[in-house]
Amino acid sequence: MSELEPPYLYPDYVGTRLRAPAKPLINLPEGFNDFPAPLFPRTVADLDHDLTRQHAGEPIGERIIVTGRVLDSDGRPLRKTIVEVWQANAAGRYLDQDDQHPAPLDPNFTGAGRCLTDAEGRYRFITIKPGAYPWKNHRNAWRPAHIHFSLFGSEFRSRLVTQMYFPGDPLMPRDPILQSIPDQAGRDRLVSQFDPETTVPEWALAYRWDIVLRGRAATPFEDEQ
């Protein structure tokens, strides 16, 4: 499992150098991490999954649908689990006062959304394709286009914060954040696929990306308890 996860210290990603713990993590005995995921206190409204309808007008950019399933490590769907996303606008700029990229803000785009998965573990967002953006990690460093995801799943150890990338992006091989994952197979798991079936004619391209979390989903029987 560990070769598919990034290490804490990955010197090419300069930010890890002073933030990665230097001492080994301590292993807890069997069962000590087996307790339920947090009860997330935030509610989800009907339009929270649609990042293109949070303002008076529509955001500039390529409208896209991002959808997929959230599964446990046995491949079972995680139902009614919260998915939070945030991203840059089409110009590669975040609505964040610390974002210094000289690209325009979009008055019609905040760049944050959330939704609950359905009975099949499916999530669905409508948004615009985020732009690539520069960062100061090394000379001429650019992040590939990505959407940040945050999920809880069913157990404490299911917690995941990660990033979804877009197929064919030429910046991916040069990105130390993505390349910190040692195996190509692991990196590939963060790249969405163009989804012609979900693409809506005359309206929006679709990308599909499934997410697999540690731990086990509750069975229907357990749900009823």
Partner 1 sequence: MSGPLTPSQTVGPFFGVGLPFEKGEQLAPPGSAGVMRIEGQVLDGKGEPVPDALLEIWQPGTGFGRARTDSEGAFSFTTVKPGAVPAPDGRVQAPHFNVTVFARGLLRHLVTRMYFPDETEANAADPVLNLVEPARRETLIAKHCDGVLHFDVRLQGERETVFFAI
Sites for partner 1 among residues 25-84 (CB under 8 A):
25-36, 38-42, 73-75, 84
Distance separating alpha carbons of residues 15 and 28, to the nearest angstrom: 28
Distance separating alpha carbons of residues 68 and 80, to the nearest angstrom: 14
- Under rule CB under 8 A, residue 17 binds partner 1: yes
Give me the phi and psi of 156, to 5 degrees please.
-55, -40
- Contacts of residue 171, Cβ cutoff 8 Å, sequence gap at least 6: 132, 142, 143, 144, 145
Q: Which is nearer to partner 1, 40 or 203 (CB)?
A: 40
Tokens of 108: 């019609």
Size of the site for partner 1 (CB under 8 A): 71
Residue 42: CB atoms within 10 A of its CB come to 8
**Subset of residues 80 to 119 that bind partner 1, contact rule: CB under 8 A:** 84-86, 88, 94-96, 98-99, 110-113
Among 56, 102, 161, 196, contact with partner 1 (rule: CB under 8 A): 161
Residues known to be catalytic? 94, 133, 143, 146, 148
- Under rule CB under 8 A, residue 159 binds partner 1: yes
Q: Which is nearer to partner 1, 67 or 180 (CB)?
A: 180
